[in-house]
Amino acid sequence: MTSVYVAVLLLIAILGSTVWVGLGLSGVGIVLISMFRPAMPYMRHLAISIWNTSITPTMIALALFILMAEILFRTKLSNMIFTGLAPWVNWIPGKLVHTNVIGCTLFAAVSGSSAATAATIGKVTLTELDKRGYDHTISIGSLAGAGTLGFLIPPSTMLIIYGTLAEESVLKLFLAGFIPGLIIMVLFIGYIIAYSLIKKGVAPEQKFTFTASQRIRSIIDLGPIVFLILLIMVAMYGGYATPTEAAAVGVLGSMLIGLMQKSLTIQAMKDALMAAARTVSMIGFIIIGAVFLSQIMGFLAIPSLLATRIAAMNLSPFVLILLLMVMFIFLGCIMDGMAILVMTLPITLPLIEQAGFTKIWFGIFMVIAIQLAQITPPVGFNLFIIQGLTGDKIGKISKAALPFFIILALFSLAIAIFPEIVTYIPDQITFARR
């Protein structure tokens, strides 16, 4: 167990330092192999990890989906989503607050990023809701919670990263994310309705009526986002394109939307390309370090040793999941979601498989845990996004997001009791492989 203790101490040291996560993960792998297998040519393995990880189709898909999100961020899509949804949610208790949840769900289906989803939808909805007299707490709380759906609803960048590290089909992971994502959306809507019925003054008393022409116009406004969602879904799940090819189709579709709106200028395209390049480089560096560390841990038999020890404790699968959830929530207080994924997966995945859960199921569970990290102070990234939009203090935003945090945490336990929520679609649907 010496190697396990050393690995854990080194990972803790990284968390407390300012070392880049990708560099730190590679460094832990080098130290471990130098201490316990000094004869192994670790530099050769590191070079192989860099090359093999960089050229995978999933990494190319990741880069293209990120570029698509950056292009859409610079279009007028968020304005059109708000105006398109307003006539259809105005009759529900909570009224236009629901544009946060439904708008984030729609944008998540074309962005794959939690931060991009919260920022894009929030830059329009928060201003409009405040201007119309809506309760500010539920406005920022619902945006913080719903913004995390960018990591769960396909095409999710986190699911692509998980699929790369766990060597699992990205397309199956995408299929598995549909039902959980929609259920979470419904739960969020249900909470907003209940909150609005219990607490008066959440929405303005003034009633707005919409003419038939306004409703038709709202459908037209939703057209571009629906078009892009269907374009990507039909390409992937109809067997016409791999996830990588579908990502390229998505980039083309986002460019067409930008050109039709006359918002995609040459400068905007340059900004999108540079932003995507920075994000992809950062993520790629982290993935390379995580893959290398995972391989080193495999050489040292650390995951199998941990799995054997925990199996000897005779924990029930649900208790194991509960302990992992507590661990992930704690880690969410001190590190971002991607770091949680790449640093814990080599150890937690063998435990999950030992308990009888599939890699597909664990991928969705981990992404929900990462969603929790996005709204967990003091480092929850969605909290900082909303702070930048509103100027509110992190404590206030965290308190507003707490009900949505609880909903996510309870739902993560629910899928442990009913794993079919996650596995039903991947088990039932077959698709053409290319």
For 78-89, how does the pLDDT look when each residue is reduced to its tens digit (9 = 90+)?
889 988 998 999
pLDDT of 416 reads: 92
Q: Give the Cα separation of 400 and 405 in Å (integer).
A: 10
- Please indicate whether residue 225 or residue 62 has the higher confidence score (pLDDT): 225
Query: How crowded is residue 391: how many other Cβ atoms within 10 Å of its Cβ?
Result: 7
pLDDT band per the 50, 70, 90 thresholds, residue 237: confident
pLDDT of 432 reads: 43
Tens-place pLDDT, residues 69-108? 888 888 888 889 988 998 999 889 999 999 999 999 999 9
Asked whether the beta carbons of 407 and 147 are under 8 A apart, the reply is: no
**Site of tokens 């150890």:** 347
Q: Give the Cα separation of 142 and 400 in Å (integer).
A: 8
Tens-place pLDDT, residues 365-383? 999 998 998 898 877 888 8
pLDDT of 282 reads: 80
pLDDT band per the 50, 70, 90 thresholds, residue 334: low
- Please indicate whether residue 111 or residue 311 has the higher confidence score (pLDDT): 111
Average pLDDT of 190-210? 85
- Please indicate whether residue 190 or residue 428 has the higher confidence score (pLDDT): 190
pLDDT band per the 50, 70, 90 thresholds, residue 208: low
**Six-digit token pair at 199?**
């607490």
pLDDT of 311 reads: 66
- Please indicate whether residue 23 or residue 133 has the higher confidence score (pLDDT): 133
pLDDT of 365 reads: 95
Lowest mean pLDDT among 2-16, 111-125, 127-141, 312-326: 2-16
Query: How crowded is residue 11: how many other Cβ atoms within 10 Å of its Cβ?
Result: 17
pLDDT of 430 reads: 60
Average pLDDT of 13-39? 75
Q: What is the pTM of this model?
A: 0.83
Instruction: Reply yes or no on whether the pLDDT at 300 is more than 80.
Output: no
Instruction: Give the DSSP per-residue string, 78-117.
Output: HHHHHHHHHHHHTTSTTGGGHHHHHHHHHHHHHH--HHHH
Average pLDDT of 180-198? 95
pLDDT of 33 reads: 80
- Please indicate whether residue 115 or residue 396 has the higher confidence score (pLDDT): 396
pLDDT of 434 reads: 43
Query: How crowded is residue 8: how many other Cβ atoms within 10 Å of its Cβ?
Result: 13
Tens-place pLDDT, residues 248-279? 998 999 999 889 888 888 998 999 999 889 88
Question: Considering the chain, what is the average pLDDT of its residues?
Answer: 85
